[in-house]
Structure 1
Amino acid sequence: MAIAAPLSTWPWQNLGAFKYLLYGPFVSKVLYERFYEGNNSFSLCFHLLLLYVCRGLTYVFWNSYSNMLFLTRNRRILQQGVDFNQIDREWDWDNFLILQTFIAAMAGYYFPFLHDLPLFNFKGLLVAMLLHVGISEPLFYWLHRKFHEGYLFHHYHSLHHSASVTQSVTAGNATPLEHLILTAIIAIPIVGASVLGLGSGLLIYAYLLCFDFLRSMGHSNIEIIPHQLFDAFPLLRYIIYTPTYHSLHHTNPDTNFCLFMPLFDALGNTLNSKSWQLHKEISLNSRKNSRVPDFVFLAHIVDVSSCMHVQFTLRTLTSLPYRFRFFLVPFWPIALTSLILMWLWSKTFLVTFYYLRGRLHQTWAVPRFGFQYFLPFAADGINKQIENAILRADRIGVKVISLAALNKNEALNGGGKLFVDKHPNLRVRVVHGNTLTAAVILNEIPKDVEEVFLTGATSKLGRAIALYLCRKKIRVLMLTLSADRFQMIQKEAPEEYQSYLVQVTKYQAAQSCKTWIVGKWITYKEQNWAPKGTHFHQFVVPPILSFRRDCTYGDLAAMRLPEDVEGLGCCEYTMERGVVHACHAGGVVHSLEGWSHHEVGAIDVDRIDLVWKAALQHGLRPVSSPSSSSLLS
């Protein structure tokens, strides 16, 4: 068993979220001083906690900004996305903040004069700047180069360079040894000014937050500094680095070693010759449209809580399937305000993207609450937003746009048919993806099934499932009160199979049927009509609750993307990593196959097998385990 190099792993790395309990003594000290000693002044422990929060938020806010793709997509330096592997490696990026908090606490214990620093001292700020430029910058530059050699790089610095695309939190992803050295470098200006009697509270806050701000900016992968600034003041390019400048260090590790000042790379002959030209190109391109996606999935918001499950909130949480978390409750008003602003702005926004077979796939979102789709007076406004998204996709050259669940609601726009009829010359193909959704559901049904009970039987999916099953000589009990709608569907079936479609009007009719296909939400009382051992297949949104312990429940129709998908680091709502809703996958298949037709309106039952085989050929796989003798096998 290999032994890890000294100081290459964190002592609390196995604690998970419990590592934050290490702050317990600091919190206890502050509460004790405030409520038991009646001390209303701000103690060292209070400032250490406040600094931790402020410094952590600096990295989080920069990370959020860099992932606001609807604002920054034209400013991205590297176009690849951040995948799940990188997110997992950088999960504990904030370990260095815990380390530095404890070091600061010990410094405060051994150097009491740090407790009595004045609020402000202008001379101290000047001295700290001189110490930073004269000592911290060259020392970091020299040590950084050393960490790119042999043993030090292999055992320590390679972790930091494991990120394929840097983000702000990547700055903190390093080993304890590196952060101990970095802590010493940070401390030089602060301690130096304080020893000279010029330290101040503002100096500590300003220097640390400025330090974190610049590190976050450099790793953000978003270029924000206009090239005109360097054109006007050429010497400035040696005083402050840019995100482009630092990104070159991660693509070419033998160049651009500086902390924040390229001057030292110029003096050390390690300055990348492409630094200024690449910066100018990216700055100029920020005014242009980025690469046009081949495929767009037009999603929608479900509720205020789930809307926070996007990459520009907390990247780690969005890499996990969505579930309600209590610690997000305080942020609910912020999320609601953001939603209202987006709603008033009435524009779709880019949420995430990934690459598949070299093609760019993006997810756009309509800023509408889920309940709004069921308000009659809101229909025109929602359709207008969907229409604008389709026209925008058509205008920029998108090939396929797929509509998420409520965006293709039959009552809302006829499964997208409204837009195709209104704009017959669309170049972008509009797809509801329900053909593959039907195939995924049918794939779960064994061949030996003789009878199924179907709710939501006259819906778009219910109709297609019923017509497909009757052709397999499976008796379908179609729950519907409308005899006319049932007869219309029955007449679509070949005459020799029409007898396999049976209209029922009550749940009691399924008392002996163990295969239920649920397309309409059913309550505990209605589920109780199912016999023991029933399996509930479902295509209802939201999914039904698992009331029956003596029955089994299927997941919503979904498919796993191929293994070679790149840059995917966000889970789609409640889906597992790498899994998307079947309608999303249906649009992916449509794009990969290059089909030229629109998939809107009623599902073409004859295409179910064709779409299913195409999905499997492109490497997509169903999430649920099908029977070895499923209908589609």
Structure 2
Amino acid sequence: MTVPGASHIPIWRTDGVVVTVLLHMGPVEFLYYWLHRALHHHYLYSRYHSHHHSSIVTEPITSVIHPFAEHIAYFVLFAIPMVTTVLIGSASLVSGFGYITYIDLMNNMGHCNFEFIPKWIFSIFPPLKYLMYTPSFHSLHHTQFRTNYSLFMPIYDYIYGTMDKSTDSLHEISLKREEDSPNVVHLTHLTTPNSIYHLHIGLASLASKPQMSQWYLWLMWPVTCWSMIITCIYGSAFIVERNTFGKLKLQSWAIPRYNIQYLFKRQREAISGLIEDAILEAEARGINGEELNNNGEVYIQRYPQLNVKVVDGSSLVVAIVLNSIPKETTQVLLGGCLSKVAYSIVSALCQREIQVSTIYKTEYEKLKLATKFGNNVVVSESYAEKIWLVGDGLSEEEQRKASKGTIFIPFSQFPPERVRSDCLYHYSPSMMAPISLQNLDSCENWLPRRVMSASRVAGIVHALEGWNLHECGQKMFDIGLVWEATLKHGFKPL
């Protein structure tokens, strides 16, 4: 079939948009209403529609779970406005793609089982209640079965007397739900502009895999740009994931800022304010523990009476790195920027009589002064050490100095860039989560499925053990105690 002029369809035509709206409000909604009622007749229901209603507690995916015959019927219905505008010559890209988007958006919204449409919208414009349904409206259909048959516009339920009497009250009750107060919050941030798609609220196909660049994400640059604008405007942390672990309720909050913004002083001040606001919000909600990727001592000093405990996970990072080093190791090389984690690792290794080499003399001098076992710290001459412990700032040039077969073990939050194909790179400090930790669907940055960063694990263990202490700034826990407690609660090393 050839449609004359299809290659010259305009972006916008007012008459086409009006026709699409009227045809949906009229024939589509009307025919769907009676088709839906017919599908609830015991003969058709048992053979077709019961498949859709097997989901009493609906999810967005429920919206497209139908037998094939129903899909054909819905396709014919939804084609009415689009085919009509084409036949009368008033079609446009906005009317076509806009209508498809409207159908998908409303269909998913109605099955999301989460009420978020505010009551004031219907107070400002009362007729809207006849033209737009809500998630609670359609949830009643899945629980009561014989009410609320309409597609997206409840007007026909009002006309034919099938509107559930509890629709309005359920909508109000659903909006008054109690705020969920977690026991532990993992405070993190976005990494790259494309990282928004890797979140649990983004694309499931990407969230379930370690973060990596995908060529087709470049095609979505308009959406990416808008997401960047929104994150810049949005003034507080937002929830990206909820988990449960036994009696603990866990949440991950993301600061709406990217890695590169941490490099600029002006941005760092704004980010510091966002982190402070998140900590104070956690305090107001009675949260027991909050994990930070970076030291949070400044916030503790500013608010010494905080009940919420700030944990950066440094002790567990040290424990993971130490237990990642092969037992027969006698010497390691330390690279990257020095931090309290680096000093703690060096101190522990020197106590074990393991020689620690550095790339530069300045690092050697700092470490020698900072540890009681400075005799075991030397400057590397040949870079022949097979174990490299690396932090942030390890350059490509420095990596190329390593000998073939070197094992890179990072102690930083983010792993180094994999420059050498002839060397082995460990994941950044992390552990495998227990099976009992639920709803862990998305990957955390570059880590595999069900693998959690050390800072995130540390906060959970902190809450499980009931440790009433902060771990931030220069404070650290006993390394052995933290490691044993972590293993006791089912977390496993990689």
Whether 1:437 and 2:317 are equivalent positions in the alignment is: yes
Q: Which residue is equivalent to 1:181? A: 73
- TM-score, normalised by the number of residues in structure 2: 0.82
Q: Which residue is equivalent to 1:490? A: 371
Q: Which residue is equivalent to 2:64? A: 172
Q: Which residue is equivalent to 1:297? A: 186
Q: Which residue is equivalent to 1:601? A: 473
Whether 1:161 and 2:55 are equivalent positions in the alignment is: yes
Q: How far did 1:148 drift?
A: 8.3
Q: 1:477 to 1:402 in 2, by over 3 A?
A: same
Whether 1:356 and 2:245 are equivalent positions in the alignment is: yes
Q: Which residue is equivalent to 2:38? A: 142
Q: How far did 1:255 drift?
A: 6.2
Q: How far did 1:368 drift?
A: 3.0
Q: Quick one: which of 450, 453, 460 aligns to 2:340?
A: 460
Q: Which residue is equivalent to 2:137? A: 245
Distance (whole Å) between structure 2 residues aligned to residue 148 and residue 459 of structure 1? 68
Q: How far did 1:430 drift?
A: 0.7
Q: How far did 1:599 drift?
A: 0.7
Instruction: Describe how 1:22-101 pairs up with structure 2 within 5 A.
Output: 41-43=5-7
Amino acid at match of 2:306: L
Q: Which residue is equivalent to 2:442? A: 570
Amino acid at match of 1:139: L
Aligned 8 A contact 2:356 2:376 in 1 = yes
Q: Which residue is equivalent to 2:431? A: 559
Q: Which residue is equivalent to 1:426? A: 306
Distance (whole Å) between structure 2 residues aligned to residue 551 and residue 374 of structure 1? 29
Q: 1:137 to 1:151 in 2, by over 3 A?
A: closer
Give ranges in structure 2 of 5+ residues lacking alignment.
none
Q: Quick one: which of 383, 387, 390 aligns to 1:515?
A: 387
Deviates more, 1:180-189 or 1:415-424: 180-189
Q: Which residue is equivalent to 2:379? A: 505
Whether 1:381 and 2:381 are equivalent positions in the alignment is: no
Q: 1:149 to 1:126 in 2, by over 3 A?
A: closer
Distance (whole Å) between structure 1 residues aligned to residue 64 and residue 331 of structure 2? 58
Q: How far did 1:402 drift?
A: 0.9
Distance (whole Å) between structure 2 residues aligned to residue 226 and residue 214 of structure 1? 16
Instruction: Describe how 1:444-455 pairs up with structure 2 within 5 A.
Output: 444-455=324-335
Q: How far did 1:543 drift?
A: 2.3
Q: How far did 1:585 drift?
A: 1.5
Q: Quick one: which of 480, 491, 494 aligns to 1:620?
A: 491
Distance (whole Å) between structure 2 residues aligned to residue 534 and residue 456 of structure 1? 16
Whether 1:392 and 2:281 are equivalent positions in the alignment is: yes
Number of aligned residue pairs: 490
Give ranges in structure 1 of 5+ residues lacking alignment.
1-25, 31-38, 55-116, 409-414, 492-497, 625-633
Distance (whole Å) between structure 2 residues aligned to residue 131 and residue 333 of structure 1? 35
Distance (whole Å) between structure 2 residues aligned to residue 264 and residue 381 of structure 1? 51
Q: Which residue is equivalent to 1:367? A: 256
Aligned 8 A contact 1:171 1:216 in 2 = yes
Q: Which residue is equivalent to 2:169? A: 277
Q: Which residue is equivalent to 1:85? A: none
Q: How far did 1:596 drift?
A: 1.1
Q: 1:268 to 1:145 in 2, by over 3 A?
A: farther
Distance (whole Å) between structure 1 residues aligned to residue 266 and residue 463 of structure 2? 34
Q: How far did 1:326 drift?
A: 2.5
Amino acid at match of 1:361: L
Whether 1:216 and 2:108 are equivalent positions in the alignment is: yes
State the secondary structure of the residue aligned to 2:341. Answer: helix
Distance (whole Å) between structure 1 residues aligned to residue 43 and residue 204 of structure 2? 29
Q: How far did 1:546 drift?
A: 3.4
State the secondary structure of the residue aligned to 2:290. Answer: strand
Distance (whole Å) between structure 1 residues aligned to residue 62 and residue 471 of structure 2? 42
Q: How far did 1:200 drift?
A: 6.2
Aligned 8 A contact 1:458 1:485 in 2 = no
Aligned 8 A contact 2:296 2:312 in 1 = yes
- Work out the percentage of aligned pairs sharing the same amino acid: 31
Q: 1:176 to 1:509 in 2, by over 3 A?
A: same
Q: 1:357 to 1:262 in 2, by over 3 A?
A: farther
Q: Map Cα deviations across residues 240-289 of structure 1 (whole Å, 9 max, x no partner).
A: 5321121244466676554346687799998766533221112345xxx7
Distance (whole Å) between structure 2 residues aligned to residue 349 and residue 583 of structure 1? 19
Q: 1:213 to 1:537 in 2, by over 3 A?
A: closer
State the secondary structure of the residue aligned to 2:107. Answer: helix
Q: 1:401 to 1:122 in 2, by over 3 A?
A: closer
Amino acid at match of 1:161: S
Q: How far did 1:218 drift?
A: 1.3
Q: How far did 1:426 drift?
A: 0.7
Q: Which residue is equivalent to 1:319? A: 208
Amino acid at match of 2:55: H
Amino acid at match of 1:585: V
Amino acid at match of 1:245: F
Amino acid at match of 2:427: D
Aligned 8 A contact 1:435 1:603 in 2 = no
Distance (whole Å) between structure 2 residues aligned to residue 338 and residue 235 of structure 1? 33
State the secondary structure of the residue aligned to 1:305. Answer: helix
State the secondary structure of the residue aligned to 2:250. Answer: strand
Q: How far did 1:597 drift?
A: 0.5
Distance (whole Å) between structure 1 residues aligned to residue 302 and residue 235 of structure 2? 21
Q: 1:456 to 1:522 in 2, by over 3 A?
A: closer
Whether 1:328 and 2:217 are equivalent positions in the alignment is: yes
Amino acid at match of 1:216: N
Whether 1:611 and 2:494 are equivalent positions in the alignment is: no
Q: Map Cα deviations across residues 498-536 of structure 1 (whole Å, 9 max, x no partner).
A: 26x522234x3542x322222244445433443443322
Aligned 8 A contact 2:355 2:377 in 1 = no
Distance (whole Å) between structure 2 residues aligned to residue 187 and residue 377 of structure 1? 53
Q: How far did 1:421 drift?
A: 1.7
State the secondary structure of the residue aligned to 1:321. Answer: coil
Aligned 8 A contact 2:332 2:354 in 1 = yes
Whether 1:477 and 2:357 are equivalent positions in the alignment is: yes
Q: How far did 1:432 drift?
A: 0.5
Q: How far did 1:433 drift?
A: 1.1
